[in-house]
Amino acid sequence: MNTQTEAVNRPPIPPGEFMGHPKALWQLSNIEMWERFAYYGMRALLAVYVATTFFDHLGDQANAEASLVYGGYTALVYATGIIGGYIADHVLGYQRSILLGAIIMAAGLCVLLFEDLTMFLVGLALIVAGNGLFKPNISTMIGKLYAPGDVRRDSGFTIFYMGINLGAFIAPFITAAWIGATWGLKWGFFAAAIGMILSTLFLEISKKALGHVGLPPEDKQGWGRFFLVGIGALVMAVGVFFLLSESAILGWLLGAIMLGLIAYFIISGIKSGDKVQLQRYIAMIILFAANACFWALFEQAGSSMNFFAREFVTPMYGSMDSWQAGGFGIFQSLNPLYILLFAPLFAAIWPWLDKRNMNPSIPRKFALGLIQVSLGFYVLVFAIANFQNAAGLVPWFFLAFCYLLHTTGELCLSPIGLSMVTKLAAEKETGLAMGGWFLSIAMAQYVAGLIAAIASGGGHGPEAGAAISQYSDTYMLLFMFGLGFGVFYLLVAPLINKLMHGVK
């Protein structure tokens, strides 16, 4: 399908703008903000809660087991996006897929209140099934608000990214530092459920602003499909529950799905007879690999870096007891806080550089992201080696600086990557391609869980010195790995740019 045909087949973009962007952008950003409140609110608690509630009897290995659960859950959250993208493209449309996903996620968050490992995994499985219908499709809808070639698209995605991070910034304060520390960590999950319910309500309010964008074709608008997909999502949750219990099988499955997806896009490009589209898909796949590398490092934040903050970092405020009860979760607000502070700068600087022919290409932005996330780990290695106090604790501002470097790296890669997918994929396959983007993150999340199990699986109490050295050794390897990949992508950027055929 050529560009002109794609433009004709697009639904009309709803009229009206606010601050230079479609009004629907702000509506979708609000919806995503509350969904991200729910996700990051429970993420701030998840690994520590699982370790202390379900694996505390394992002693030194409690953190490691919890890290594997955390990695499996976060991997599946992103992996199911490939299914949700296909359903939105071919069955339900984007609006109804998002609505169904929101309902299922809210139910799953409520199930987390049961202090039983089996029921807890059931709750996680429901969240995974719902998120697959929600997450990739709301991002795809942002792209559909802009005509092909609209230069506002990258800035629009950055604004959307700010909405994501506003919810992520507020959440840990409420779910962990306040509710979790005061009434118990499990009640933080209840607060996250309230956020998901608000997201569902705002979705209904936004329908007028969205107009026809994201609706299914007229021959697929019956509600019977909605309920059938809902039943299918519950069946999928059963499979997710099994995979959460079998980490090794999950790893092999994710690899097989990714290989199948790569084959699909290559075959689709060949069948289209469009050499440009085929090469754009190849470029997209190469960038998926960089994305996976970045998030495998970055996603230590919710697992090993959360354990590190709880056990080996001086409190940012309050006593050590209140810090370990939930106050440590405040570090999970630093990344979204930095994004809120710096995203407007990044959104403005890319067009400013572009006017002066200095804007880094998409592959170079990915490389800059990888280099910065690796440098963040070196900050922690340096702090552990040189700044431990008598109690073996590292000053909190080193961890805060690490999060800053990770965040600036994220701003070079993540919003640019979301926009990149909507530009490189054929119009009819944008939902599937966005699912592929999140699948590459899923693989990274799984690997991140394995890394966190190694980093945080050391001892406690008298063995604390051994444990902090284990963090240091692991983070040094991550620094070297990320730096190497970043330099590699800087070197191959011209080749990737050639495959992208003018997409910037």
* pLDDT surpasses 70 at 460: no
The listed range with the strongest mean pLDDT (31-35, 149-153, 374-378, 470-474) is: 374-378
- pLDDT of 2 reads 46
Condensed to tens digits (0 to 9), the pLDDT of residues 211-229 reads: 777 887 777 777 888 999 9
Query: DSSP strand E in 444-483: where?
Result: none
DSSP letter (8 states) at residue 462:
G
- Give CA–CA dist 265/280, Å, rounded: 10
Task: Tell me: pLDDT of 6 over 60.
Answer: no
User: Looking at residue 13, what is its pLDDT?
Assistant: 67
Q: With contact defined as beta carbons under 8 Å apart, do 309 and 457 qualify? A: no
Q: How many Cα atoms within 13 Å fall on the side-chain side of residue 60? A: 13
Assign 294 a pLDDT band (cuts: 50, 70, 90): very high
Whether 266 shows a pLDDT value over 70: the answer reads yes
Find out whether 361 and 282 touch, Cβ atoms under 8 Å: no
SS3 call for 222 = coil
Q: Which of 216, 193, 175 is nearest to 108 (CA)?
A: 193
Please spell the DSSP secondary structure of 256-289, one letter per residue: HHHHHHHHHHHHHHHHHT-HHHHHHHHHHHHHHH
Residue 338 clears pLDDT 60, i.e. is over it: yes
The structural domains of the chain, with segments of one domain joined by +, span 19-500
CA distance 366 to 430: 20
**Does pTM surpass 0.75?**
yes
Share of the chain above pLDDT 70, in %: 95
Report the C-alpha gap between 123 and 143 in whole angstroms.
31
Measure CA 198 to chain center: 20
∠ Cα 421 39 182 (to 5°): 160
**Rounded CA gap, 133 and 378, in Å?**
37
- The better pLDDT of the pair 155, 242 is held by 242
Helix axes 94-111, 223-245, angle to 10 degrees: 40
Instruction: List, in sequence order, every residue forming a beta bridge with 22; answer none if it has no partner.
Output: 17
Asked whether residue 430 carries a pLDDT value surpassing 70, the answer given is yes
Q: Quick one: pLDDT at residue 1?
A: 42
Q: How much is the pLDDT for 109?
A: 96
Is 50 exceeded by the pLDDT of residue 5?
Answer: no
pLDDT tens column, 402-428? 999 999 999 999 878 877 888 898 877
Q: Which residue has the tokens 């009434």?
A: 183
User: Between the CA atoms of 222, 228, 229 and 231, what dihedral angle is there, to the nearest 10 degrees?
Assistant: 150
Region 160-166: what's the mean pLDDT? 84
Q: What is the DSSP letter of 394?
A: B
Q: Name 313's bridge partners.
A: 394
100 versus 461: which is more confidently predicted? Answer: 100
Residue 459 C-alpha from the chain's centroid: 30
Please enumerate in sequence order all residues whose Cβ is within 8 A of that of 194, keeping only pairs 6 or more positions apart, or say none. Answer: none
pLDDT at 136 over 90: no
> How high is the pLDDT of residue 115?
93
Percentage with pLDDT > 90 across the chain: 58
**Which tokens in the block code for residue 28?**
């979708």
Residue 9 has pLDDT above 60, yes or no: no
Listed residue (498, 499, 415) closest to 143, CA to CA: 415
Give residue 83's pLDDT: 84
DSSP string, 294-333: HHHHHTTTTTHHHHHHHHHB--SSS-HHHHHHTGGGGGGG
Alpha helices, H only, 316-395: 320-325, 334-355, 362-386
Identify the residue with better confidence: 369 or 143.
369
Paired strand residues for 17: 22
- Which two tokens mark 186? 């499990």
Give the per-residue pLDDT at 305. 96
Q: Classify 19-500 by CATH class.
A: mainly alpha
User: In Å, how far are 264, 314, 333, 369 from 337, measured between CA atoms?
Assistant: 38, 20, 6, 18
Side-chain-side CA neighbours of 481 within 13 Å: the count stands at 16
| 466 pLDDT higher than 70 | no
Of the two residues 81 and 348, the one the predictor is more confident about is: 348
Helix (H, G, I), strand (E, B) or coil at 21: strand
Residue predicted with more confidence, 225 or 13: 225
Is the Cα torsion angle 356, 360, 362, 368 positive or negative in sign? negative
Decide: 409 and 372 in contact? Cβ < 8 Å: yes
Q: Decide if pLDDT at 462 tops 70.
A: no
Q: Using CA atoms, how far apart are residues 393 and 312, in angstroms rounded to an integer?
A: 5
pLDDT of residue 123: 97
Q: What's the rounded Cα separation, in Å, for the pair 17 and 152?
A: 12
Helix (H) or strand (E) holding 22: strand 21-22
pLDDT band at 283 (very low <50, low <70, confident <90, very high): very high
